[in-house]
A = this chain, B = another copy of it.
């Protein structure tokens, strides 16, 4: 049984484990004040070309989203997200648990647009309704699509004109940036968004996301929020060491590129076999539509998510590749599909 269920089925890239080993007996301060975390933050600022951002290392994605959004908003303010947005669907009401409504925008491709946000603003006119204040996007999205620079710039302009906080969930930012269709650089984001995170967990780390806060007014006292929500790890070095390793050279991007390459091989081969896809997804998540019989056969040897019934005889499945996906496994998988089609 080989798993294409997600991009967190394996542990961490071996270089990360080695770095943990090598530093293991050094004594470090706790709670993110260790030398590794400090260095990782400095290194990331360098890579972003910005010394004026604040960067915090946080164990996981749901935690990052809930801490940031609850720290940024006042009690009556709400977040706006695509109906497929992670905070809307798969975080067990984590944002609402901090007191804030998440307003939904229907989308087909998982991507917000100024028009969709404007409709939410138009519908919220006075104090009997929440005040929409933060725009949440994910890049790549939960259905594999990515934002290009023009789209992000348009959203960014819109948010600034309407005094909205623009926040990007980058759980799979590596994959987005290494997409063949991407025209954004890691250093573009501080210009475009007010806060965002660079995801480690789904790109080769054991745990860890790097939250970048770009807007000055959002920075104050942020570590208090992290501690209150249980995100200041006693052994914060665990996060610092990992990000240092991922960004010491190009490892972060190499891992994402590999994941994308594996997805691309699968999707291109399937397209040649006239397989349709549920969404256009130039990243490491793809959603081919297959005959149910084929799916049944594949499930004997492969794990993946049965995403959505498409018609009587066909369903979309979700195939996720990762930094650790083996080329041979992809080959065998493609061979098996050809056999069953």
Contact = CB atoms under 8 A, between A and B. Distances in A.
B93 A78 contact: yes
Contact of A3 (B3, B27, B201): B27
Contacts of A202: 234
A149 interface: no
Nearest to A326: B25
Given A20-B17, A66-B230, A96 B101 contact: yes
B224 A8 contact: no
A234 B127 contact: no
A74 B221 contact: yes
Contacts of A29: 5, 9
A71 interface: yes
Interface string A75-108: 1101000000000011111101111111010000
B207 A233 contact: yes
Interface in A4-53: 5-6, 8-12, 14, 17, 20-21, 23-31
Contact of A20 (B11, B31, B63, B234): B11
Most B C-beta atoms less than 10 A away, residue of A223, A227, A230: A230
A92 B128 contact: yes
Contact of A17 (B21, B62, B74, B324): B21
A231 interface: yes
Interface string A180-222: 0000000000000000000001100011000000000000010
A243 to B, nearest CB: 15
Interface in A222-252: 223-235, 237-238
Interface residues of A, number: 77
A127 to B, nearest CB: 4
A76 B100 contact: no
Contact of A227 (B62, B74, B78, B98): B62
Contact of A90 (B94, B128, B226): B128
Contacts of A92: 76, 127-130, 224, 227-228
A127 B227 contact: yes
Contacts of A230: 59-60, 62-64, 66-67, 94, 229-231
Contact of A11 (B25, B94, B99): B25
B59 A228 contact: no
A130 B90 CA distance: 8
13 contacts: A11-B26, A11-B238, A12-B235, A27-B303, A62-B232, A63-B230, A89-B129, A92-B128, A94-B229, A96-B99, A97-B229, A127-B232, A201-B234
Given A60-B234, A96-B100, A97-B99, 18 more contacts: A11-B23, A12-B24, A17-B21, A20-B20, A20-B206, A59-B207, A63-B230, A75-B98, A76-B97, A76-B227, A90-B129, A92-B129, A92-B227, A94-B229, A101-B102, A127-B226, A202-B234, A207-B238
Top 6 closest A-B pairs, CB basis?
A63-B230, A76-B224, A11-B24, A92-B228, A93-B101, A8-B234
